[in-house]
Structure 1
Amino acid sequence: MKQYLLVCILCCSAIPCISQYFLRGEIRDEKGRQLERAKIYLASKGNTPFYSGNFGAFGILCPYPQDTITVFYDGYEVYKKPVNTKVFNEIVLKMLPETASLYANKLSSRTTNLEDNGESYFATLGESYSSLIENQFVNAKNYPETGFSINIDKASYSNIRRFINNGMYVPSNAVRIEEMLNYFDLRGPQFPKPKDSAGFCMASTLTSCPWNENNLLLFIQLQAPKINLDNIPPNNLVLLIDISGSMDHPSKLPLLQSAFKLLVENLRPEDKVSIVTYGGGVHVALNATPGNEKLKINNIIDSLYADGDTPGESAIKTAYDIAKNNFIPNGNNRIILATDGDFNVGKTTEQELEQLVSYQKQSGIFLTCLGVGMGNYKDSKLEILAKKGNGNFAYIDNIHEAEKTLIKEFTKTMYAVAVDAYANVEFNAEIVKKYRLIGFDNKRAAIIDTTSLLEGGEVGSGHNMMAVFEIIPVSNEKINLKDPNIAQLNLSFHLPKHPQQITQNFQIPFNPINFNNAPKQIKLATSIIMFGSLLRQSKFIKNYGFQDAINLAQSSINNSNISEQELLTLMQKANNIYNYRKKK
């Protein structure tokens, strides 16, 4: 009888342990906008993340009538407070100052000489992108100078390709026209060579504007010096690989494994490779190993599998520690972070990640970010990490892109010849009435601030890049040709490990030509600009459509160039996607 009573007591006492309560609520911001895909943690559930659904609503089973909730949402302060399951919880997130500033600029047009462009901010399939504000026309008499950062980022183009190949609209904030131009080699046959091993070379072309016959297009092309292939410095590479549960998809971890095995094939005995993984914890999977021990390195890569949460903060710290311990004074010391960017343990917001890597910038260790996947891909976080980590950024959507980034363009991607590189353009107000910088839309401050406030970029060996301005000229009878130049470009950078700033000055002549007579590379660049502007739904491309961009590309691509052929195919697919939906 006593044993029976004991069993009854134990069963009764166990009932509270298995009780379930239902926590309900919704997440909004201070302006009443419902926030979908906000990341939610409950103290009782540990590191298991939950997400708000449609209209910011959430409902989560929890074992206690009261719990503590923590909510993360990019661009907002972290919310952490006790909650009661017996009531409907209305959670209001507060915008960070940077987010509030962007929102205010968009609505009130407070910045001098800039206009509200009516852009909206939205999450796409749980993915996150930095909010972009398209550059407007600027009065050259009042603001003759503008600046832009020089870098080798190309992620936007391959990410756009992923959306279009999946038959989807491209989020407007995923379109960065300067990165689309970066993806292609747009040098003409007469492009000048650098005069010395440490200097850049520049070429300019001024044409009529195909979408506005009264305006001009100024194309500025810069090429970085090349490293002598016989003197490529040794590599100290730390592969920082995300193996969390979110990476369990063919387009994520398996793709990265194939990509890194391509990289391993080209390593030399003097190169060193370490591997750090994070997923359910941080692990040093491989200590520094010479590049000729390929079987050992590949076996570690093959052994990886996806599981667990994503402690990105600890992983990044560990990778920097290993890179410092194996630092090569005159070598290429670089962390290659490969992830979908969906951090969920430790520091996870963009502001926190920015702070995490910013102080490492002077360490001489570069950070290259390789983004993969879809659905929870965090483009905005990887862009910030690469920028603040003094590195570059690419998106890998297939094995061909991996080969392009890690093999064919290895020296451009992995060997920096200039850091903190930026350009300042000063327009001749006697010729230029107004101008707008096409692309570089996240560099809004460059329109009104001096270049001393710009954060320069990293430039790889032999990289060539293009910046394009649309120009409203002064009327012909008022043009003063006492100065035959339309602008002057001042390029500033310094060599890796050398703090002394180097400056190069280039004159840009006023020598306009008819667009029909422009080189094919210039026409191809223009078709890319039109393509990107249409995807961004820019107000500046009027009376033009995808078919116009297609026609221009068809007349200017090199039929033997696979990348250019692919560009034309993407334009045709986009035309079908966007026009089909318009008809519907």
Structure 2
Amino acid sequence: MKKGIWILFCCLLCYLFTSAQYYIRGEVRNEHGVLLEGVKIRLKSKPQQVFTTGNTGAFGISLTKITDSLSLELDGYEKTCLPADSRQFNRLLLKTLPGTLKLYKNNRASIVSNARNNLFLPAPNQGESYSSLIENDFIHATEFPETGFSLNIDNAAYSNIRRFITNQMFVPEDAVRIEEMLNYFSLPIIRKSKSVHYSDSFNFSYQHTSNPWKAGHQLLFLQIEAPALSLDKVPPSNLVFLIDVSGSMDKPNRLPLLQSAFKMLVNTLRDCDTITIATYGGGVGIVLPPTGGAHKQSIKNVIDSLSAGGDTPGAGAIQLAYQLAKDKFIPGGNNRVILATDGDFNVGQSSEKELEELILRYQQTGIYLTCLGVGMGNYKDSKLESLSKKGNGNFAYLDQIREAEKVLVKEFTKTIFSVADDAAITVSFNPATVAEYRLIGFDNKKSALDDSNSVLEGGEIGSGHTITAIFEINPAKDSVSAVQQPLAVLDLRYKKPGSNDILHQTFHCEYQGLPIQSADSMYRFAASVAMFGSVLRKSKFTRDYQFEDVLTLARSGIRKNDVLQNEFGKLVEQAMFLYNPSKKKRK
């Protein structure tokens, strides 16, 4: 009897020992100290079970051993196996793959060699936030003949400037991004021009003219036209609307404007498209599960039901939106998160750097990000700009319902469907014809210039969009005798969506030196848009140029039947009276 009890007691001890529960706790970060969400974890003792880190990068796993080995896996990072001990908090490091590591560098809009010499003076911006920009300077072609700039379809700056001037408010200088002002008009290539180069992918055109604001200087206009796709040829879309319904959105030009905008977008949906709607404000939630484009009224009813209130947990909302997009990911399709907000994130990760690091985790997932900004007073332009660029996407500002219609209906395929990623241009000037050159716009953030490891950032190009860039040129003294020589050579590089292969196209610009009044009116209009931005920024290169000069140049280029161009003329006139009220009295 005693022997039987002893055997039973030993068996019980063995059972208790083998079934003892231990708990491994810890967190996973990368080498930048960023906590990593969604890391897949497998225990060596339980290889069939998969655990994941939470949205703070933390994990907790129960097991029957004091120690174990953990296998860590996350897209964009090296697969790693590390020991873990249940007797301590485990801080684990996941190393970034080279392709992901480069994304953490500060990115530039353009590459210029002496931008650091410019003086930086921060300007007040009335409670709104804008990235501090350093204007590009003249470069000596003999020393640095090559320069480059990023291509994208962002146009938020123009409608934001319009909002300030329409409300009789001075425009913050850092709110002025000239390349986005030119982008807003997507100026068409002049088809009859001898300078047009057609191809199966991107078309190219240029014009070399005199400079209307600087005698002796010249302008080089460059135009890149992306291939256009009709809506019926656009692959099925998997769209996640992420709508800010926090307390700051409770104004007519915020949530109600976005509701009208999204309902217009819903009208363009096809049966093959899928829509999911998530909101954040006081919390994060899904208000519409994945729904086909055929159910338009159901989608609109959900949009109409939204109301504003609560704080702004933007970081958690972005994580949810990307997860929703991943759940319904369409291989070869158009997978995109559309974030609509005033950008006033005030809960969780809210600084620009934190938000950039958050969005970088998703950049290589094949999911694009479109940011739609609204509001005034607390509008955070800098945050939305950073998110869209790091999220491999685009950025627009909606100041009125007509702008919402332009962005989401009339230019739907340009805004929503990408035909090229990481697109950038390298321009090599010929020192025999060019002594100095200056890229107008494409100004860099001060933080990017302060980073010696910063790289040229390629952008996303939407279907059928035309990008216009302008260089101011100080010609070489003997350039007249070198008229037949090349002016510049361009190298366009980009990737097709879903591919890592870099494609190239080469274009040549010949010396023309055409008087700008003899060029097509579109080039005079483009020059007036660039100069409007320069005068608003109080550029040192246009100190002698006034709003009246901009208006005269604009009127010589505005096409009578173009609504947007005529609106621009009126905007310049409003700015002239706003910044110089005495002229209004004389009138």
> Contact 2:113–2:139 (CA<8 Å) still a contact in 1?
no
Question: Unaligned stretches of 5+ in structure 1?
Answer: 1-101, 103-110
Q: How does 1:88-237 map to 2 (within 5 A)?
A: 113-114=114-115, 116-187=117-188, 188-190=190-192, 192=196, 194-196=198-200, 199-237=201-239
Cα distance per residue 1:536-581 (max 9 Å; x no partner): 0111114221111111111211111111111011000000000128
Q: 2: distance between equivalents of 1:200 and 1:449?
A: 32
**How big is each residue's C-alpha offset from its partner over 1:102-154, in whole Å with a ceiling of 9 and x where there is no partner?**
9xxxxxxxx96346544421342210000011000011111111110000000
The normalised TM-score by structure 2 is 0.77
Does the Cα contact within 8 Å between 2:422 and 2:457 map onto a contact in 1? yes
1:261 aligned partner: 263
Q: Do 2:123 and 2:173's aligned partners in 1 also have CA atoms closer than 8 Å?
A: no
Q: CA deviation at 1:427?
A: 0.5
> Residue by residue, what CA displacement relative to the aligned partner does 1:176-215 show, whole Å, maximum 9, x if unpaired?
000000011322242647421xx11111100111111111
Amino acid at match of 1:299: N
1:444 to partner: Cα distance? 7.6
Residue identity in the other structure for 1:163: F
How far apart are the structure 2 equivalents of 1:127 and 1:444?
18
CA distance in 2, matches of 1:516, 1:443: 35
Contact 2:140 2:436 survives alignment (8 Å): yes
User: Over residues 12-42 of structure 1, what are the superposed CA-to-partner deviations in whole Å (9 max), with x where a residue is unaligned?
Assistant: xxxxxxxxxxxxxxxxxxxxxxxxxxxxxxx
Q: How does 1:310-349 map to 2 (within 5 A)?
A: 310-349=312-351
Matched, 1:293 2:299: no
**Contact 1:114–1:138 (Cα < 8 Å) also in 2:** no
- Taking the aligned partners of 1:443 and 1:312, their CA distance within structure 2 comes to 23
**Aligned 8 A contact 1:147 1:451 in 2:** no
Q: Distance in 2 between matches of 1:331 and 1:112?
A: 40
Instruction: Report the equivalent of 2:13.
Output: none
* Other-structure match for 1:24: none
Q: Percent of counterpart pairs with the same letter? A: 53
For 2:346 and 2:513, how far apart are their aligned partners in 1? 53
Shift of residue 453, structure 1, vs aligned partner: 2.6
Deviation at 1:296, TM superposition (A): 1.1
Number of aligned residue pairs: give it: 473
The offset of 1:226, in angstroms, is 1.3
Q: What SS does the aligned partner of 1:557 have?
A: coil
Q: Relative to 1, partners in 2 of residues 1:444 and 1:222: Cα closer, same or farther, differing over 3 Å?
A: farther
1:478 is displaced (CA, Å) by: 8.2
After superposition, the C-alpha distances for 1:347-400 in whole angstroms (9 at most, x for unaligned) are: 000000000001211100000000000000000000000000000000000000
Report the CA distance shift for 1:127/1:444 in structure 2 as closer, same or farther (over 3 A). closer
Cα 1:514–1:580, aligned 2, differ >3 Å: closer, same or farther? same
CA contact (8 A) 2:432 2:478 kept: no
Question: 1:331–1:114: structure 2 CA closer, same or farther, 3 Å change rule?
Answer: closer
The residue that corresponds to 1:70 in the other structure is none
For 1:489-528, what aligned pairs fall within 5 Å after superposition? 489-528=490-529
Q: 1:440 maps to what in 2? A: 442
Change (3 A) 1:480 1:415: same
Q: Would you say the 8 A contact 2:136–2:441 is kept in 1?
A: yes
Distance across 2 between alignment mates of 1:234 and 1:390: 19
| Partner Cα distance (2:192, 2:318) in 1 | 44
Distance 1:333 1:194, change over 3 A: farther
| Alignment-derived partner of residue 378 in structure 1 | 380
Q: CA deviation at 1:449?
A: 11
Q: Alpha carbons of 1:444 and 1:381: their partners in 2 closer, same or farther (altered >3 Å)?
A: closer
Which residue in 2 is equivalent to 1:579? Answer: 580
**Which residue identity does 1:240 align to in structure 2?**
L
The answer on whether the counterparts of 1:368 and 1:386 sit within 8 Å (CA) in structure 2 is yes
Paired residues of 1:176 and 1:440 also in contact (CA < 8 A): yes
Paired position in structure 2 for 1:242: 244
In the alignment, is the contact (CA less than 8 A) between 1:272 and 1:288 conserved in 2?
yes
1:28-69, Cα deviation, whole Å (9 max, x unpaired): xxxxxxxxxxxxxxxxxxxxxxxxxxxxxxxxxxxxxxxxxx
Structure 2 residue aligned with 1:457, among 456, 459, 470? 459
8 Å CA contact 1:367–1:389 kept in 2: the answer is yes
Q: Does the 8 Å CA contact 1:271/1:290 hold for their aligned counterparts?
A: yes
**Partners of 1:146 and 1:450 within 8 A in 2:** no
| Matched-pair contact (CA < 8 Å) for 2:281–2:312 | yes
The answer on whether the counterparts of 2:148 and 2:456 sit within 8 Å (CA) in structure 1 is yes
> AA paired with 1:465?
I
Query: Partner letter of residue 245 of structure 2?
Result: I
Aligned position for 1:40: none
